[in-house]
Amino acid sequence: MKKRFPILIIVIPLLFGASVAEPQVATDRADLLKQMDARAQRFADVSRQIWEFAEVGYKEVRSSDLLKSELRSAGFQLQEKIAGIPTAFSASWGQGKPVIGILGEFDALPGLSQETVPQQKARVAGAPGHGCGHNLFGSASAFAAVSIKNHLAEKKIPGTIRFYGTPAEEGGGGKIYMARAGAFNDCDVVLTWHPGGANRASVGSNLANISAKFRFYGKAAHAASAPDKGRSALDAVMLMGNAVEFLREHVPQETRIHYIITNGGGAPNTVPDFAEIYCYARHPSMPTLDGIWARIVKCAQAGALATDTRMEMELINSAYNVLPNEALAVMFDRNLRLLGGIHYTPEEQAFAEALSKTFQAEDGLRLGSQERISDIERSVSYASSDVGDVSWIVPTGQFTTATYVPGTAGHSWQSTACSGMSIGQKGMTLAAKVLALTALDLFTDPKQVQAAKADFDKKRAGHEYKSRLPADQKPPLNYRDKSPD
Amino acid sequence: MKKRFPILIIVIPLLFGASVAEPQVATDRADLLKQMDARAQRFADVSRQIWEFAEVGYKEVRSSDLLKSELRSAGFQLQEKIAGIPTAFSASWGQGKPVIGILGEFDALPGLSQETVPQQKARVAGAPGHGCGHNLFGSASAFAAVSIKNHLAEKKIPGTIRFYGTPAEEGGGGKIYMARAGAFNDCDVVLTWHPGGANRASVGSNLANISAKFRFYGKAAHAASAPDKGRSALDAVMLMGNAVEFLREHVPQETRIHYIITNGGGAPNTVPDFAEIYCYARHPSMPTLDGIWARIVKCAQAGALATDTRMEMELINSAYNVLPNEALAVMFDRNLRLLGGIHYTPEEQAFAEALSKTFQAEDGLRLGSQERISDIERSVSYASSDVGDVSWIVPTGQFTTATYVPGTAGHSWQSTACSGMSIGQKGMTLAAKVLALTALDLFTDPKQVQAAKADFDKKRAGHEYKSRLPADQKPPLNYRDKSPD
Amino acid sequence: MKKRFPILIIVIPLLFGASVAEPQVATDRADLLKQMDARAQRFADVSRQIWEFAEVGYKEVRSSDLLKSELRSAGFQLQEKIAGIPTAFSASWGQGKPVIGILGEFDALPGLSQETVPQQKARVAGAPGHGCGHNLFGSASAFAAVSIKNHLAEKKIPGTIRFYGTPAEEGGGGKIYMARAGAFNDCDVVLTWHPGGANRASVGSNLANISAKFRFYGKAAHAASAPDKGRSALDAVMLMGNAVEFLREHVPQETRIHYIITNGGGAPNTVPDFAEIYCYARHPSMPTLDGIWARIVKCAQAGALATDTRMEMELINSAYNVLPNEALAVMFDRNLRLLGGIHYTPEEQAFAEALSKTFQAEDGLRLGSQERISDIERSVSYASSDVGDVSWIVPTGQFTTATYVPGTAGHSWQSTACSGMSIGQKGMTLAAKVLALTALDLFTDPKQVQAAKADFDKKRAGHEYKSRLPADQKPPLNYRDKSPD
Amino acid sequence: MKKRFPILIIVIPLLFGASVAEPQVATDRADLLKQMDARAQRFADVSRQIWEFAEVGYKEVRSSDLLKSELRSAGFQLQEKIAGIPTAFSASWGQGKPVIGILGEFDALPGLSQETVPQQKARVAGAPGHGCGHNLFGSASAFAAVSIKNHLAEKKIPGTIRFYGTPAEEGGGGKIYMARAGAFNDCDVVLTWHPGGANRASVGSNLANISAKFRFYGKAAHAASAPDKGRSALDAVMLMGNAVEFLREHVPQETRIHYIITNGGGAPNTVPDFAEIYCYARHPSMPTLDGIWARIVKCAQAGALATDTRMEMELINSAYNVLPNEALAVMFDRNLRLLGGIHYTPEEQAFAEALSKTFQAEDGLRLGSQERISDIERSVSYASSDVGDVSWIVPTGQFTTATYVPGTAGHSWQSTACSGMSIGQKGMTLAAKVLALTALDLFTDPKQVQAAKADFDKKRAGHEYKSRLPADQKPPLNYRDKSPD
For residue range B262-284, list pLDDT tens digits in order. 999 988 989 999 999 999 999 99
* Neighboring chain C residues of B213 at a CB cutoff of 8 Å: none
- Asked if A234 reaches chain D (Cβ–Cβ under 8 Å), the answer is yes
Rounded CA-CA distance B401/B429 in Å is 9
Q: How far is CA C177 from the centre of its chain?
A: 14
Crossing angle (nearest 10°) for helices B446-460 and B422-444 = 100
What single-letter amino acid sits at C280? Y
> What radius of gyration, in Å, describes the C-alpha atoms of chain B?
24
- Asked if D95 reaches chain B (Cβ–Cβ under 8 Å), the answer is no
Rounded CA-CA distance D166/D90 in Å is 8
Contact C1 A249 (CB under 8 A): no
Residues 6+ apart with CB under 8 A from B193: B137, B140, B141, B398, B399, B400, B401, B431, B434, B435
Contact C248 A253 (CB under 8 A): no
Contacts of the segment A354-359: beta carbons below 8 A, 24+ positions apart: A354/A118, A354/A119, A355/A118, A355/A405, A355/A408, A355/A414, A355/A417, A355/A418, A356/A405, A356/A407, A358/A118, A358/A119, A358/A120, A358/A414, A359/A407, A359/A408, A359/A409, A359/A412, A359/A414
pLDDT of residue B51: 98
Q: Which of A208, A313, A292 is nearest to A248 (CA)?
A: A292
Q: What is the pTM of this model?
A: 0.88
Number of B:C CB contacts under 8 A?
109
For residue range D191-217, list pLDDT tens digits in order. 999 999 999 999 999 999 999 999 999
Q: Nearest CA of chain B to the CA of C33: how many Å?
A: 39
Assign D418 to helix, strand or coil. helix
* Neighboring chain B residues of C484 at a CB cutoff of 8 Å: 266-268
Rounded CA-CA distance A140/A150 in Å is 15
Whole-complex ipTM = 0.85
As a whole number, mean pLDDT of residues A7-30 equals: 57
Q: Nearest CA of chain B to the CA of A289: how many Å?
A: 13
Q: Nearest CA of chain A to the CA of C100: how many Å?
A: 30
* Neighboring chain A residues of C5 at a CB cutoff of 8 Å: 4-5, 7
Contact D254 B253 (CB under 8 A): yes
Contact C266 B282 (CB under 8 A): no
Least CB–CB distance from B248: residue in D242, D248, D254? D248
What single-letter amino acid sits at D38? A
Which of D246, D259, D260 is most worth mutating to test chain B (most B CB atoms within 10 A of its CB)? D246
Contact D260 A224 (CB under 8 A): no
Are D262 and D276 contacting, i.e. CB atoms less than 8 angstroms apart? yes
pLDDT of residue C4: 32
* Neighboring chain D residues of B253 at a CB cutoff of 8 Å: 253-254
Q: Which of A188, A199, A192 is nearest to A448 (CA)?
A: A188
pLDDT by residue, tens only, chain D of 485 residues: 334 444 333 333 434 444 445 678 889 999 999 999 999 999 999 999 999 999 999 999 999 999 999 999 999 999 999 999 999 999 999 999 999 999 999 999 999 999 999 999 999 998 999 999 999 999 999 999 999 999 999 999 999 999 999 999 998 899 999 999 999 999 999 999 999 999 999 999 999 999 999 999 999 998 998 999 999 999 999 999 999 999 999 999 999 999 999 999 988 989 999 999 999 999 999 999 999 999 999 999 999 999 999 999 999 889 999 999 999 999 999 999 999 999 999 999 999 999 999 998 767 789 999 999 999 999 998 888 999 999 999 999 999 999 999 999 889 999 999 999 999 999 999 999 999 999 999 999 999 999 999 999 999 999 999 998 888 889 989 888 753 33
Q: Nearest CA of chain C to the CA of D129: how many Å?
A: 42
For residue range D453-481, list pLDDT tens digits in order. 999 999 999 999 999 888 888 998 988 87
Q: Which helix (H) or strand (E) holds B442?
A: helix B422-444
For residue range B132-158, list pLDDT tens digits in order. 999 999 999 999 999 999 999 999 999
pLDDT of residue D15: 41
- Asked if B368 reaches chain A (Cβ–Cβ under 8 Å), the answer is no
pLDDT of residue D316: 87
Are B222 and B267 contacting, i.e. CB atoms less than 8 angstroms apart? no
Are C103 and C397 contacting, i.e. CB atoms less than 8 angstroms apart? no
Provide the residue count of chain D.
485
Chains with 3+ CB–CB pairs under 8 A to A are: B, C, D
pLDDT exceeds 60 at position B99: yes
| Strand C310-319 versus strand C208-217 pairing type | antiparallel
- Asked if B238 reaches chain A (Cβ–Cβ under 8 Å), the answer is yes
Name the DSSP class of C188: S
- Asked if A95 reaches chain C (Cβ–Cβ under 8 Å), the answer is no
Are D145 and D76 contacting, i.e. CB atoms less than 8 angstroms apart? yes
pLDDT exceeds 50 at position C350: yes
Name the DSSP class of C255: -
Q: Nearest CA of chain B to the CA of A259: how many Å?
A: 17
Rounded CA-CA distance C383/C385 in Å is 7
Q: Which of B480, B262, B282 is nearest to C265 (CA)?
A: B262
**Backbone CA torsion sign across C419, C422, C424, C430:** positive
For residue range B375-418, list pLDDT tens digits in order. 999 999 888 899 999 999 999 999 999 999 999 988 999 999 99
